[in-house]
Structure 1
């Protein structure tokens, strides 16, 4: 049994093929997935996904390269976290040295 600990089911092209993605995962002994939100909008999509699919869990937050002008959205993300027990983590999602730094 395998758990996918980091995926982005809310990103293209996966979001348009989630049922097939999850079937492929099941056929490859992946029993559970953790999908990661990287912005408020992305985190809302993650919440919808985890509500619909029993074996998908979520982590929500803001990527460090998107923090400029978005830190006030942290409160909204915390509210999303409180709405669903399948949201396992929240906060900064990503590595700030991977892309250009935000101001």
Structure 2
């Protein structure tokens, strides 16, 4: 799903767990469900979950969550742009290389 180990679903699930105790099936299932919401919808996806289980969400929490999602989105846009730039440079280099190989105008081919 992603190559960044900090963003992979497994990493998100394990970040929810306490590292100092064992967890049962229900806890693991719940953590996996929360991780799926977070992974697919970002932090803002958790707001609806909080509402469903009657956790009061104040404006500060909403602004923090939306701000963090916006930061993540901006990082993603920058990373995608860098990847596109690299891909474009590689394509341009390939094109120039192919054009140079095909250009035989300076080659005399044994003519004297």
Length-normalised TM-score, structure 1: 0.23
- Relative contact order, CA 8 A, sep 6+: which one is greater? 1
Greater helix fraction, Structure 1 or Structure 2: 2
Greater strand fraction, Structure 1 or Structure 2: 1
Length-normalised TM-score, structure 2: 0.22
Higher alpha-carbon Rg: 2
